Structure 1
Amino acid sequence: MTTVRIDERIATHRASLSPQERRAADTLLQHLDDLATYRAAELADLAGVSKATMSRLFRSLGYADFDEVRDHLRAQRVAGEPRQLNAPASLPAHARAEAATIATVVGQPGVVPAVAALASARRVHVVGWRGSHAVALHLRQQLAQARPDVRLAPLPGQVMGEELADVDAGDAVLLVGFRRRPVGFSAFLADAVATGADIVLLADPTAADHRRHLGPRGTWLGCPIATELAFDSYAAAMSMAAVLADGVLAARGAAGRERVTTISNAYLRLREIE
């Protein structure tokens, strides 16, 4: 039962709860987003019930005590759900942690082979779903400044079958796979590897099991996104996008510089930017 969310447990057991326990349960639901920041006694006061009633509620829901509730909420946060675990959050500490993560991410050895693959490929396919799609979109925009034929997938309203049909040896697939990935992620990775293309997997530690499926032409770029805040941070991922694009631009040499100039001149002719 440990995987069942606390709100689902309340819904399942509500009919069997006493009136006081229901009152306490309603308070838990009202504070679900920041529940872990309270103590059990504080929750009892908020609900207007005794600490004994609150303890009985936790046991009725299948928890030994409030510490187990906290552990359950932390597990949900690790899975990617936005949950406040500390209140108030220390923003200076958050900023320091972000800086340390960025330094580790951009300095990892996999950056060099990833840049080489992205610079030399005939075509680059940048792929990402859900939260990963925003990173993929930015990566595509950055890489397209440095080299031609950079594609983004999936496009709105599209599925992946037709995208894979165009991938073959000589291409590179930059797959962004941060947590809360779609169910078909592993199947897509397997099919992409089977094409013979170079694969670059940019993902957080929850995707570590996928590393063994990358094959000899695969590169892993680990990028943590977990924070002490309620939401994940993609600061390191965006820094990685800049580092990869910078590396590709340098590797392309004169061709890359000429492309930047051509694009900038097009902006001016079309009056697209200030």
Structure 2
Amino acid sequence: MSVPTSPDMAELRIEERIAATRMDLSPQERKAAATLLEHLDDLATYRAAELAQLARVSKATMSRLFRSLGFADFDEVREHLRTLRTSTGEPRSRDGGGWGDLPTHLAREAEVVRRAVEHPVVPQVVALLAAARRVTVVGWRNSHPVALHLRQQLAHARGDVRLAPLPGQVVGEELADVGPGDAVVVVGFRRRPAGFGDVLREAAASGADVVLVADPTAIEHARTATLWLECPVSSALAFDSYAAAMSLVSVLADGVLATLGDPAQQRVRAISRAYERMAEVEGG
């Protein structure tokens, strides 16, 4: 028998349920939730007791977590995952998933974008990025294009915006000059590289303010950051979508531009004039 679930919760995927309830979870339940997120793609291959052992929590804690997420037990979790694989190609289906239902995909994309750009932390991040002495944006793998775009957009509105790691380099050199008054934006969507948490901790230890831009699977890393901008990447298709992430970049950069006012507008005009003098970009 299923436990009572609110209509809103029933519409959410398991990782979104974890994100929605994380503030109400106990520390042990958060550990258990982090393990679920780490093993999302192969969760159905485990038994509940094995997951509890992986998370280093009791079986009772794991059971409480399932109920907090709106599931009666682990069997319902497995059924939830089976349904996702069948209807949306998740996790990472081999059969194309939701290609045949583009209206559903587009509707979900619009909702995810809306939730990302209306995140309550956005104004705080904008204020931080506008006031920081220096901004360093960090991102690897599939997070790198988002980090690169954020750096490029911010560089139009303000000076001293850096990207790390540069090709062939590591992050240590970039963090050596970071300190109080600086901001470090770490972009970390799922399939993060080993050592991701170490970089967050190193950045936080420098005294800089750390902003984490990541999907719900980064819940355990969020505690290290000053601010966490949660941005889902799950879609109705077989592959993750970064539409919300790129929209969020535009909103952040636009907010910084507006916050800095005339000096930022003058900087934009100066950059445009430099483009023209050097004929670096096409007109129009």
TM-score by length of 2: 0.67
Q: 2:64 aligns to what?
A: none
Contact 2:98 2:237 in 1 (8 A): no
| Residues matched between the structures, number | 206
Structure 1 residues 83 and 171: alpha-carbon distance in aligned structure 2, compared to 1, 3 A threshold: farther
User: Are the structure 2 counterparts of residues 211 and 78 from structure 1 closer, same or farther at C-alpha, using a change threshold of 3 Å?
Assistant: farther
Is the alpha carbon distance of 1:83 and 1:143 closer, same or farther for their aligned partners in structure 2, counting shifts above 3 Å?
A: farther
Structure 2 counterpart of 1:268: 276
Aligned mate of 2:172, from 152, 161, 179: 161
Aligned to 1:232: 240
Residue 130 of structure 1 corresponds to 141
Structure 1 residue 147: Cα displacement? 0.3
User: Residues 114 and 270 from structure 1, CA distance in 2 versus in 1: closer, same or farther, beyond 3 angstroms?
Assistant: same
Instruction: Give the aligned CA root-mean-square deviation in angstroms.
Output: 2.5
Structure 2 residue corresponding to 1:100, chosen from 97, 111, 116: 111
> For the residues of structure 2 that align with 1:72 and 1:257, how far apart are their CA atoms?
50
| Larger Rg, first or second structure (1 or 2) | 1
Distance in 2 (CA, whole Å) between partners of 1:219 and 1:83 is: 36
SS in 1 for 2:185: strand
Q: CA deviation at 1:272?
A: 0.8
- Corresponding residue for residue 21 of structure 1: none
Once the two structures are superposed, what CA deviation does each residue of 1:48-103 show, in whole Å capped at 9, x if it has no partner? xxxxxxxxxxxxxxxxxxx99x84994xx767x46446354311111111111111
Change (3 A) 1:88 1:188: closer
Measured against aligned partners, the alpha-carbon deviations of 1:193-242 in whole angstroms (never above 9, x if no partner) come to 1111111110000001111122xxx1110000011211110000000000
Q: Supply the AA of the counterpart residue of 1:176.
A: V
2:117/2:251 contact within 8 Å kept: yes
Matched with 1:241 is 249
SS at 2:162 equivalent: strand
1:123-175 deviation digits (Å, cap 9, x = unpaired): 10000000000000000110000000100000111111111112111110011
Residue 236 of structure 2 aligns to a residue in which SS?
A: coil
Task: Could you tell me which runs of 5 or more consecutive residues in structure 1 were left unpaired when the two chains were aligned.
Answer: 7-66
Matched residue, 1:51: none
Residue type at the aligned position of 2:269: T
Q: Distance in 2 between matches of 1:84 and 1:220?
A: 34
- Give the alignment partner of residue 222 of structure 1, picking from 195, 210, 230: 230
For the residues of structure 1 that align with 2:188 and 2:240, how far apart are their CA atoms? 14
Equivalent residues of 1:89, 1:229 under 8 A apart: no
- Cα separation, partners in 2 of 1:82 and 1:171, compared to 1, 3 Å: farther
Cα separation, 2, equivalents of 1:266 and 1:157: 29
